[in-house]
Structure 1
Amino acid sequence: MTVLDHRAPSTGWATARNARRYRADAAAVRTSPHAFAAAVADGIGDTPRAAEAARRFAEVALDAAWLHGPTAGIMAARRAASSPHPDEPALTALAPARHAEPGPHRATTPGHDGPPLRLHRPAPHLRPVPNRPAASPDDRPPGNAVLVVATGDHRGWSVAWAGDARAYLVTDGDAIPLTTDHTVGRYFRDRGADPGPRLDHVVTSTVRSGAIGTTHGRSTGRLVLVTDGVHRVLDAATLGRVTRAVADPADAAGALLDAARAAGTTDDCAAVVLDLSRPAARAALHAAA
């Protein structure tokens, strides 16, 4: 197990590969004494390109969100998805370690009524076509991901998302979902149908295309960003209980991943825990009220 631990009093994140071949969930966080930005991305598929897409989109979204808010972060990732990155590392560097135990990376950073439904499924591995040369690495489908981005300062917090990565507000009561999954299952349930759980795994919005959801608030507590490897096995009550039980944000993020594994997840996971209840943050919010 590899553990990265750089603690700060307000923010922590954790990721884990679990039973997947590639760690295709990524998190990125930036904080100052008075503001924060965070992004969690879930690569679509279990491929090197999915892993690279998640890492790159989370970083690009974080940079833009820090300056212009979470919706700008997702739009920046969308622009990055359509153009090559000149400094992109070789995808072979993302191959899974053969003898490493799948485990969490933990860290903290310092102070549809819209367009036609489009489905996004994990891309299969390409197989050589009989009597033709095998596809070269450059012919493989480009990486894609779902993404949730959050920012906050003394005026409150904002969240934007594309796909089924989620944000929750954890207070003294339950964990309150702030996002609505962009999935086929949710699409039909909102229209009175029951499509079954399998369609909850097919997203209608991603970094590359589809709707972007937004929400805003001023509540204190803890803001939690997670991928579906966590929220598909932990209901809101459990997620809230686990988050509240651990004081340190990095340990709380790691505890969410531990709970997800105990509940049976085999998917890779990512969690970010942002503490909105710091005394300075509460004072700033009250002063601005």
Structure 2
Amino acid sequence: MPGERPAPPPERLYAVNAAAAQFYASRLPASRKAARYLHNHGISNAADPTGPWQVGYAAGRWTELATHLRAAGFTDEEVTGAGLGFVHNRSGHLLDRFRDRLMFPVTDVHNRVVGFTARDLGGRAEAKWLNTPETAIYRKRLLLYGLGQQLANRPAGIGDPIVFVVEGAADVLAMHRLAAAHAAIPETQPLYAVAPCGTNVTRDQLDLIQQTLPGAHLILAFDGDDAGRRAADQVYPVASRWPGQVSGVRLPEGQDPADMLGAMDPAWAISEIIGAVQPLAQVQMTNTLDRLFATKRITDPVRFVEDRITAYRAIAELFVDAPHATRDMAEAAAERLGLASTDVARGVIEAWSARTDTPGGTDPPPDTAAPPSADEPAAGPPAEVPTPSSPSHGVAETDITVSATAHNTGSRRAGTTAAITRHDPSSGITVWALADGIGRHAQAATAAQMAADIAATVSLRSTPAAGLHAARAAINAFYSGVHPSQAGDASLLVVSAYPSPTHRHGVRWELAWAGDCRAYTIRAGQLAQVTADHTAARQRRDQGEHPSPGIADVLLTSSIRAGDISVCPLDEGPLLLCNNGVHRAIPERQLAAELAGMSDAQASADRLARGVGQHNARDATVLLIHARSAPPALVTTTRTNAHATVTASGSPAALAKTSFMDAGTGPAAVTTPQAESVRGFGQPAAGRRR
């Protein structure tokens, strides 16, 4: 409008926020109330003006900061544009927004001050915490308190980071002090702490952690009161899709990290918190059962079968989200309900069976095509697997155009690969799983088929990483006690497509894999490999060693049975999935030509499968998914134990009956040590070489 001044440029907003932070910090020593608050929460060291936190104090007067900033050369528009002040609608005077508050500067990933979160010290304000309003540089759903300061002053440690997500700024400072005590342990992992600023934890904030601290073990630590449990309920749907290890902490009733630090020695406090770490799904399960009791939806599960059924239905989905922790979860639920863990496991299986076995399930119609012969490839699932229109997601049917599968078993009658597609019309999610049996015996085919089927089914209701963990648990349980020469193994690759109205084409992807099945996309007209091979040669390259051709090129360091699991998000497509029989036999230029010029996905898949050669000893399986072009995203890898570990899985009924049908004396020797959820605290992670 005429007469309006242009908005201040971002550089001036950064500058005025930095000046305000320095001013507030200079006023902190004069405030006894601020000193008392810091002392009571065990974070007096944050008052160090030369430290990274720059905690300050805003006096109770109305114009103290405004007067200082004007004298420093900042305009009224810059002060109000940064959210530090406002113009009174009657008097027209510029007034301070923050008064009689402890000031915690919020920085971006470049450690530039972009705003503040402030704690009331006078006891008269309506809001205990007050945050900078949305500005051109402060968008609270995209920021995390403490992240910028710790990226600029990284904690000591070795290996993948551990990131605690806590509720407030004081808790971040308390956890940072605990991290200093934790860092004294030799060869420990670096520990970070962050908190949202007046919001629930958002998908954008978790993406920010993933981008800046890849491979992080995420731990949600909320207060042990009703508000903390409500916060955990709200964040669980977002955090449960974290691509790496995700855990939670149920802190003692009525205490947060700052309270614990204020009441005990830092070494004791960190040991208490670490000892309380559990899989996030287990924390959520306990919260769910507590809520059922509190709302009188269940009263006495020991006496009333209806109460048991209600509880099992409420927690069954959570077992799928933590396939490595179902035994511990069954035991924890049993203790809370007053039942035997075997009864809980059986009840969860029955509840899950009732949910997944209803008519009109989520799987697409079965393939009616003839089985492949020895001479010709056969189409897999129907050529089109569209994502249905959904007004709630705003996703059109053309977002995922088509998918197609083709097989070629070479000169053999039976193949050792498997490709499975699952689609859920209600959510619009589609999952593809490709498994490549290791070896040429019958059990390689069995392992591939089981792994693909289980991973696809679990991923449809959870994440690709959870699908791989579930398949791993089932395969290891299936072959428990079997001589290795008679056991099957496979590489496995899972892709999930999620409707996402925020993406340009309305769909986003997530991949997880173990082994050497590959996924490719097109980037700037060139073939780009999305996945990273889990081979000895690739491992040596990643460690900076000079690669040498030979057997290391094909020696796997990971498979569905054991080893690393990698995860990679992707904004768009198209995608070409294939086993090693394809990528070793077909030149990359031909793969690129089919992927870039794909107009008929089934025809392209058939050509690639035939291209391996009719009499080639290798199996060939190709899966093409037609969408749009996008660069690969960052790959994160979860390091696992050096030896195959059977970990009971909460998958759908067929898997569940195999892997945890008896939580106490099941057929498999299930090993889920509680310490595994916090294994990284004491020593660096190690990969597996086999």
* Aligned CA-pair RMSD: 2.6
Structure 1 position 21, deviation (Å): 6.3
Q: Does residue 625 of structure 2 align to residue 274 of structure 1?
A: yes
- Give the corresponding residue for 1:67: 461
Structure 1 position 244, deviation (Å): 3.2
Q: Does residue 568 of structure 2 align to residue 215 of structure 1?
A: yes
Q: Per residue, is there more helix in 1 or in 2?
A: 2
Check whether the contact 2:585–2:612 (CA below 8 A) recurs between aligned residues. yes
Structure 1 position 12, deviation (Å): 0.7
Check whether the contact 2:575–2:595 (CA below 8 A) recurs between aligned residues. no
Structure 1 position 139, deviation (Å): 8.1
Which entry has the higher C-alpha Rg, 1 or 2? 2
Check whether the contact 1:171–1:222 (CA below 8 A) recurs between aligned residues. no
Task: Name which of 478, 487, 493 aligns with 1:148.
Answer: 493
Say how many residue pairs are matched. Answer: 225
Check whether the contact 1:20–1:267 (CA below 8 A) recurs between aligned residues. no
Q: Does residue 383 of structure 2 align to residue 7 of structure 1?
A: yes
Structure 1 position 174, deviation (Å): 1.8
- Give the corresponding residue for 1:92: none
Structure 1 position 4, deviation (Å): 4.1
User: Greater relative contact order (Cα 8 A, min sep 6): structure 1 or 2?
Assistant: 1
- Give the corresponding residue for 1:123: none
- Give the corresponding residue for 1:116: none
Task: Between 43-52 and 17-26, report the one with greater CA deviation.
Answer: 17-26
- Give the corresponding residue for 1:170: 522
Please list every run of 5 or more consecutive structure 1 residues that lacks an aligned counterpart in the other structure: 86-136, 278-289
CA distance in 2, matches of 1:209, 1:164: 13
Q: Does residue 506 of structure 2 align to residue 181 of structure 1?
A: no
- Give the corresponding residue for 1:195: 548
Check whether the contact 2:435–2:452 (CA below 8 A) recurs between aligned residues. yes
Say if 1:201 and 1:139 are closer, same or farther in 2 by CA, change over 3 A: closer
Task: Between 45-54 and 148-157, report the one with greater CA deviation.
Answer: 148-157
CA distance in 2, matches of 1:152, 1:268: 26
Say if 1:267 and 1:186 are closer, same or farther in 2 by CA, change over 3 A: same
CA distance in 2, matches of 1:164, 1:194: 17
Structure 1 position 195, deviation (Å): 2.6
- Give the corresponding residue for 1:83: 477
CA distance in 1, matches of 2:526, 2:550: 24
CA distance in 1, matches of 2:476, 2:554: 24
Say if 1:213 and 1:244 are closer, same or farther in 2 by CA, change over 3 A: same
Say if 1:21 and 1:4 are closer, same or farther in 2 by CA, change over 3 A: closer
CA distance in 1, matches of 2:574, 2:550: 29
Residues 82-115 of structure 1: CA deviation (Å, up to 9, x unaligned): 2239xxxxxxxxxxxxxxxxxxxxxxxxxxxxxx
Q: Does residue 591 of structure 2 align to residue 239 of structure 1?
A: yes
- Give the corresponding residue for 1:108: none
In the superposition, the TM-score normalised over structure 1's length comes to: 0.70
Residues 14-38 of structure 1: CA deviation (Å, up to 9, x unaligned): 1211135641111111235633100
Match for 2:438: what amino acid?
Answer: I
Check whether the contact 1:175–1:236 (CA below 8 A) recurs between aligned residues. yes
Structure 1 position 227, deviation (Å): 0.4
Q: Per residue, is there more strand in 1 or in 2?
A: 1
Identical amino acids, percent of aligned pairs? 29
Please list every run of 5 or more consecutive structure 2 residues that lacks an aligned counterpart in the other structure: 1-372, 385-400, 501-507, 629-690
Residues 210-266 of structure 1: CA deviation (Å, up to 9, x unaligned): 0001110212x311111000111334332120233342222222122123338x953
Q: Does residue 597 of structure 2 align to residue 205 of structure 1?
A: no
Structure 1 position 162, deviation (Å): 0.4
CA distance in 1, matches of 2:464, 2:454: 11
Task: Name which of 161, 164, 172 aligns with 2:513.
Answer: 161
Check whether the contact 2:379–2:602 (CA below 8 A) recurs between aligned residues. no
- Give the corresponding residue for 2:420: 28
- Give the corresponding residue for 1:96: none
The ranges of structure 1 where at least 4 consecutive aligned residues each deviate by more than 4 angstroms after the TM superposition are 137-140
Say if 1:141 and 1:12 are closer, same or farther in 2 by CA, change over 3 A: same
Q: Specify the SS of the correspondent of 2:547.
A: coil
Structure 1 position 145, deviation (Å): 0.4
Say if 1:13 and 1:251 are closer, same or farther in 2 by CA, change over 3 A: same
Check whether the contact 2:493–2:518 (CA below 8 A) recurs between aligned residues. yes
CA distance in 2, matches of 1:10, 1:185: 35
Match for 2:420: what amino acid?
Answer: A
Say if 1:198 and 1:22 are closer, same or farther in 2 by CA, change over 3 A: farther
